[in-house]
Amino acid sequence: MTRRYFGTDGIRGAVGIPPITPDVVLRLGHAVGRVLRRSEDRPTVLIGKDTRISGYMLESALESGLNSAGVDVVLLGPLPTPGVAYLTRAQRASLGVVISASHNPFQDNGIKFFSAQGAKLDDAWELAVEAVLDEAPQWVDSASLGKSRRLDDAAGRYIEFCKSTFPSDLTLKGMRLVVDAAHGAAYHIAPKVFHELGAEVVVVGCAPDGLNINQGVGATHPELLRQTVLERQADLGIALDGDADRLQIVDHTGRLFNGDELLYLMADDRLSRGEPVPGVVGTLMTNLAIEVALRQRGVEVERAAVGDRYVLEGLARRQWLLGGESSGHLLVLDKHSTGDGLVSALQVLQACVRRGQRPAELLRDVVLYPQTLVNVRLQPGQDWKRHAPLQAAIHAEEAQLGARGRILIRASGTEPLVRVMVEADDAQLAERCAQRLAEQVRQVPVN
């Protein structure tokens, strides 16, 4: 079956346009509640959110919908997506809900769900919710309505959890870190985690006003982080995105390390300590150099579809612990059940502290292949997959690249975009090829 509301990471869109409207979200909450009550008489659902102004409106609608189906609600307030996943598991709740559009601008918002185990839910559950959405509501009687309460110390509990993933015999004392929370859900959490582990913390992107989330800051806009690291002569800069499940790191020279490099660094650190790393899961976007370097270390590499849920599925199937995306979604399953920017940052920091080396030194044997990524905005009705001239152009470019590189063209799971990625052993070759293909996508007619 085709999902009508759910994408690769929950439901997401522009606020005020269905499905991100109060009426649809109320119906969504009601549908989720009815699905939960098929297996549980009195479910409890945790709701967290990022700092978007629309979060107030959507939180109220979702809460009402759940209550109307006989579900109790615990409000967490602003909290990173992985924090909601952790507390769902720790509180033995039936479900966790996050109101966030992650790295998107404030005009967008979304809703994603976590199971009682703190993991993303599968397609079958999402399809069951969509089926109930098409049915008439079935309100419970007044005596059976759900209740709501607020968990006042949610942030503090999550801070302690993050700190518990850092070895107790290590400290960040002597390190100066710039921490950029993208004016998002970790604005009141990330600085405290690193400070309480001993670091001197310089804060940017930690003053949300409801409208400035991800605006020129955070993991998707690391320019300010790089500038601040250089100005303050910091050891490292740590950037999260709006819901803090994505990580980028900048070193003292201003060099940016993406998710591929950080994934290799974490695997290499475990190998250096004699811990087994049978394999890691990347995605179709993972740089070929990472795959080559890991295989040389005896580590198997599997590529999943783009999206952290598919990386997680691959890890679960292979019973491996490490996986991630180039964008900075990293999974460390013996530390957390989902991707967590703060936990991942602490994994990188512990490697640097324990081995007394900077990230560039730990990655000196890995040289990434140049990649060019061009995003092309789609118009309604542009069927790029069936456009014969575009497919012919792709085949021609692949023949020209040969063994020197690869091409990946895919639709975004969260935005109306086609992502054109070309990877080659020569940066100019990758750039020219990607731009030619992007132009071909733009020329696809509207049906």
pLDDT digits (tens, 9 = 90+) for 331-370: 999 999 999 999 999 999 999 999 999 999 999 989 999 9
CB neighbours of 226 closer than 8 A, spacing ≥ 6?
237, 250, 254, 256
Which residues are known to be catalytic? 102
Helix (H) and strand (E) counts in the chain: 14, 18
The answer to whether 327 touches 225, Cβ cutoff 8 Å, is no
Closest to 112 (Cα-Cα) out of 234, 210, 236, 11: 11
pLDDT computed for residue 1 by the predictor? 54
The CA radius of gyration of the chain, in Å to the nearest whole number, is 22
pLDDT computed for residue 381 by the predictor? 87
Closest to 236 (Cα-Cα) out of 349, 375, 78: 349
Lookup: tokens for 344: 């991942």
Lookup: tokens for 165: 């993933």
Distance (Å, whole) CA 9 – CA 225: 27
Distance (Å, whole) CA 341 – CA 333: 13
| Structural domains present in the chain | 11-155 (3.40.120.10), 170-254 (3.40.120.10), 258-362 (3.40.120.10), 371-442 (3.30.310.50)
Lookup: tokens for 209: 């006003």
- Terminal C-alpha separation, the chain: 24
Q: Which residues of 220-232 are buried (b: 16+ CB within 10 A; e: fewer)?
A: bbbebbbebbeee
Question: How far is residue 230 from each of residues 215, 245, 312, 393, measured CA to CA in Å?
Answer: 21, 25, 35, 43
pLDDT computed for residue 306 by the predictor? 85
The answer to whether 60 touches 79, Cβ cutoff 8 Å, is no
pLDDT digits (tens, 9 = 90+) for 6-51: 987 899 999 999 999 999 999 999 999 999 999 999 999 999 999 9
Lookup: tokens for 148: 């709501």
Low-confidence ranges of the chain (pLDDT < 70): 1-2
pLDDT computed for residue 9 by the predictor? 82
pLDDT computed for residue 307 by the predictor? 85
